[in-house]
Structure formats: structure tokens, C-alpha cells
Structure 1
């Protein structure tokens, strides 16, 4: 092979290879879309339609929103959605503020004690606390049965911190030096120079935190005795694993079938993240890869 010839992976694929790729991509898409469509179709099916199809509906004969009306009329699901929304919004905001502050501090080479602090942070990443020590800490500081127990113990994720620190380090040092020569302090540099250039990584890390807070269910089971404080992910687990017992005992099932209610809860639990993700997808390659490579 000539030295000037392009590598095999850069050449134009043969028709057979392109057909194989198209078939593989189609199969993967169907494997992803079909379960989602089945969940949505079952949630919109009538009780008789669900019974006739053995519990799963691929194409509903008549659209019915009874399942959504049943679970959104002010009962358990409505409270759980509000709890999850509040925990996600407040937790994501606090986590971003703390992560940005610590990442910027650790990204500056002249910070006193920066290296030991970074090693301490990485130590917690390599050796995370177990469930029992974390439970004892939460109970000892008075967070038991409090919404803060879903936020404060998970305020900073080390992986997100390392990625954001690497992104901050990739910002040209000349820009920061120029701002300092103009008399800008650290807060001004962070607010007017670093943050405007870091919108991509902030959007990605914010989505990571939001997904983590929205999907947090196990901690609610451990830290909450009052089930009315459970977030939507914990209630969703109870619906899926325990059937519709929660809805039946609270009087929420009026018209829809249990299967439709379960699938409607799944749709409501996944819909917010599905709606937000497309708007932030274009930031992923720039935000994560730049920070990870630099780190």
C-alpha cells in the first residue's frame, strides 16, 4: 500500500457495507422505539382494548386519556411530580453553583492548597461512602424525612467536577490575564470571562445533575417515612412493581385500567427529560469531550 493512500476507515464503504449499516441502524432504532411506542399506546388505550390485547397495546383502537385524568386529579402522582420538579430545579441550581465554584478554584494553578484539595476530591471518587455511613450522617445532621436529604448529600458529583475543571483549564490563559490587567477580580473574571465561554459544559453538567435528581428513588425509600413526600421515580417503582395498589387504595383509579395507569406513570416520569434532552444534545460533544480530554 502506498504511503500516501488514505487509511481503510477513511475510504468510501462498499454498497454491501452501507446496506449492512442501514439494516443494523434500523434494527437498533426499532429496538429502542418499539418499547417506547408500546408504553405510550397502552397508556392511551381503553380498558377493553387493553384486555383484548392481553395487557399490551401496539395501536389503540380509540384514544383515551382516562389514565392521565385519573392520576393527575390531585392525588399521589400529582404530589410526586411536584416533589420531583422542586427537588430537580433546586438541586440542579445548587449543584451547578457549587460545582462551578469548586471547579474554577481547582482549575487555577496558583490557588493555595489546590493540589491537596483536588487529591481529596478524587479520593472520594475512588472510595465513595457506603449506604450505611451515608444514612448515619443524614440522620445525625437532622435531614431524615426532609427534602434536603435528596439534595445536600449529592450536591457535587466528582465526575462532573472533573469535567468542568478540565473545560475551565482549556480557556486561554491570555483572556484571564487580560481581564486581571484591567482590574477584574476573581468573581468578575468568572462571571464575565469564564462563564460566557463555558455555556456548553454548563448545559451538559446541568442536564447530568437534573437527570440524577429526577431519577433518584432509592434514597427516598431510605430517608422518608412519609410516603406522601416520595418523588415520582419512587412512586413509579411502586406502580410498576406493585401494580396499581397505591392508586386503588387512594381512590385514583376511576375509569382507566391498571395497565394503562402504570404506563401513563412511566410516560409522565420520562417525558420531562425527553423534552429537555433534544435542546441540549448539540452541547454534548463540545462540552464533555473538551473537558474530559483536558482533564
Structure 2
């Protein structure tokens, strides 16, 4: 079984060689830095575009992809600047915002927070409904590792509402990411609705900045890595498209109109980390949730 938790003391170099295309809609710091050691040159951008376009046509889905090689200007983008429903990708941003705000308050993170049956979204939750209490640590763990909707909403309540996620993203330079609603409405994904949307560029930029560049502090990056390395929901998405050896820290999203998202950091021994964000949308309310499309996109990008 593939090991997902890295030895963070090991240097890592690039898994991908990505074309030098600047990413639109994000801060210029996204792609600056020294070239990654041992990163191969990338010449397959045209083939990758054609393969993803064919995948869109075959599955009646619109796909957005941004991949960034850390420490270099190498990037691959396909519809990277377009808006897509964010769905549960917001939960990593909410947890990151809370760690930045309260990360060093040890009492806060172990203090039980009450909730009631009225707070439960759907028919089940990973939170303890025997005691009807959960610590902020338990909320973040459930929201990220299991994409627990109840935990996600309680994180937003701790932050003071959905606007806190929008403000957090903007404070880091991601200006096209907005959260307007909580669960379950955040997952409606109605075509053309700009509420609760982001771009692959923004998501890839934010995840790289938070987890690799410590843009919201070292503790925020470390905690997000800890939770996202142990994610349980990626089995048929990015995780399924990777060939060992690798380690993956990611967050998924699932919504109406067949929306399936996944974004995270990929490590390989001796290579630079790669941040990969894949987002989808359709115009059909009855569209299936095609997880396999994300796995295939991952294969296309990692074979580039």
C-alpha cells in the first residue's frame, strides 16, 4: 500500500517538467524561485491539451487543470483561469484560516465546542453525537480527512461565517476565490452561478503557498499537511492516477451537476513537489459524478 505520510526531512525534486506558462489571476509569487534541481524539461504540453480536450468531449464535462512545480517557473494549465464550483475544497481553506488565527492557542484547540442535531448536515457525521461536543482539532480533522459537512459548517461558525474564507484567500493573493454559502448549498454548482467558485489557478496557488511556502505561517502549513496527507476521499481521483512511489496530501469536492474536484500536493523521492488542482463542471443536472475523469487527468499530467 502506498505510504501517504512523508518524512519531511527528505529533500524532494520535481515529479513533472511543466511548461513555462505564467498563471493568470494569481499573485506573481506563484511561479518565482530558483529552478528545481533535476527537473526534466517539459515538451508535451500540446499533447496534454489534446488529451484533456478529448476527455472532455468523451465525457461531456468541462475540465480545469493547473499543475505547478515547486521552486520553478514550470506550470501546466488547461482552463486554469476559468471559474468552477469549489464545493468541499473550501474546507482546507477554512481550516487554514482557523489555524492562522488561533494556531498557538493550545487551550482553544482542545476545548470542546457544543453542537446539536440541528447542526448535522445529512444523515451522518464523523463527529461524536453521543456527547454532542467536538474540539476544533476534531472539526478540522473530520472536515478535511472525511469531508464531513457538519464539521465544515462548524469550522465556518468558528470563523464567523463564509466571508472569512473569501477574506483569507484574498489576503494571500487569490482574488477569484469566494465562499458565499455553507453546506449543503455550497455544492449546488448551478451553471453560471459565480457563488462558491474558484479557479484551478487560485486553488493550486493557495495550496502551494499554504503547504509548501508557509504563506500563512509554518504551523498552518504543517497542520494542513498533517490532515490532508491522511485524506480518505481521494481513492478514485488523483490518488488513482498516480504510480508509486509517491505521497499525496489532497482535498476533494463533490457537487451537483456532476461536479468532481480534487487538489493537492504530490511528492516523489528526490523530486520537487508538484501542486495539482483539477476542477470540473457540466451543464446537465443529471450528469454523473465521474471520478475516473480526475484519475485520467492525473495520468495525463504526470506522464507529460
What TM-score comes out, normalization by structure 1 length? 0.27
Q: Which has a greater percent of strand?
A: 2
Q: Which has a greater percent of helix?
A: 1
Bigger Rg, which one: 1
